[in-house]
Amino acid sequence: MFHSRIAPQGEASTEAPILNAMSVDIEDWFQVGAFENTIRRADWDGLEHRVEANTDAVIALFDACGVQATFFTLGWVGERYPKLMQRITDAGHELASHGYDHRRVFTMTPDEFRADTARTRAILEDAGGQPVTGYRAPSFSIDQRTPWAHEILAEQGYAYSSSVAPLVHDHYGWPDSSRFAWRPVAGAGMIELPVTVAEIGRKRVATGGGFFRLLPGALTSYAVRQVNDATHPAVFYFHPWEIDPGQPRVANAPVKSKLRHYTRLEAMAGKLRTLMGKHAWGRTDRVAAQASLRLP
């Protein structure tokens, strides 16, 4: 069981708290879904790259907080910054796949997806020097439209995916998904570990990334406690550009996209420190391995 024992008054608990998954999706400021219709992929190499410095800042933040985490990384980034991949693994973190260039899964054919995941895994394993056993779809784009995606990941030997957001959202979401770990492919050991949402009445509310940045941090802590009280681990995520208030501004992006992307960047690092101090956090592969033991 994950859940820690509640000790009687005056007695110290002998069990560790539930380990929750801390993760960061490694992509640069211009590679996000909010700008996918504004900035062309063909222009990426000509833009200011800030992902290396921002990811190093995230590594330093985790070190200061005593947290090991998972870095779901684009193959595009790993290809250009192989020494950064090595610094991630040298620091004790997990290196996992975020696809090659942030294409949403439902925009690819099964063959394109298979090639994308194989290419990215080879890049990251070569650069990081460790097996890549975890995958997160760009923009949580595995849903009811892509039943073949989990099958391909299982076929390729991934231990887990953390690619589902179990809620309704204007860009993504699989509202009928379980909030907790489940096996998406019959006869395969791979699990899906959805990102954590809070349940408020009948509504599911996202708590990671921009939602964590924009909404009170207490909401995310509430969601973590809610799933931990149900004896399950939480799964949290953010992006390195979210701790970078000095990043370039995209003037011609839609107003809604700009509001989502740039609001409260200056507050993010402090909110992360507070969150990491309130709960137990670790690598997603370790959380997934524990979760898998509970599933048939």
Q: Kindly indicate the confidence band of residue 3, based on its pLDDT and cuts at 50, 70 and 90.
A: very low
Contact criterion met (CB below 8 Å) for 98 and 88: no
The 3-state secondary structure of 130-193 reads CCCCEECCHHHCCCCCCHHHHHHHHHCCCCEECCCCCCCCCCCCCCCCCCCCECCCCCCCCEEC
Provide the total of helices (H) and of strands (E) in the chain, helices listed first: 10, 10
Each residue's pLDDT tens digit, 232-280 = 999 999 999 999 999 999 999 999 999 999 999 999 999 999 999 999 9
Query: Residue 79 contacts by C-beta under 8 Å, 6 or more apart in sequence?
Result: 123, 127
* Alpha-carbon span 40 to 258, nearest angstrom: 17
Each residue's pLDDT tens digit, 39-68 = 999 999 999 999 999 999 999 999 999 999
Average pLDDT value over all residues in the chain: 93
* Alpha-carbon span 216 to 213, nearest angstrom: 8
Looking at 4-18, 49-63, 154-168, which range is the least confident one?
4-18
Output the CA–CA distances (angstroms, integers) from residue 25 to 117, 135, 169, in the order listed.
Answer: 15, 11, 19
Share of the chain above pLDDT 70, in %: 95
Q: Which two tokens stand for residue 77?
A: 């980034």
Bridge partners (DSSP) of residue 97 are: 73, 135
Residue 62 is inside which H or E element, if any?
Answer: helix 51-65
Report DSSP letters for 14-48, one per residue.
-SPPPPEEEEEEE--TTSSGGGTTTS-GGGGGGSP
Looking at 163-172, 198-207, 276-285, which range is the least confident one?
163-172
For residue 157, is pLDDT > 90? Answer: yes
Contact criterion met (CB below 8 Å) for 85 and 78: yes
Tokens 């670790």, residue?
A: 282
Contact criterion met (CB below 8 Å) for 204 and 175: yes
For residue 1, is pLDDT > 50? Answer: no
Supply the pTM of this predicted model. Answer: 0.93
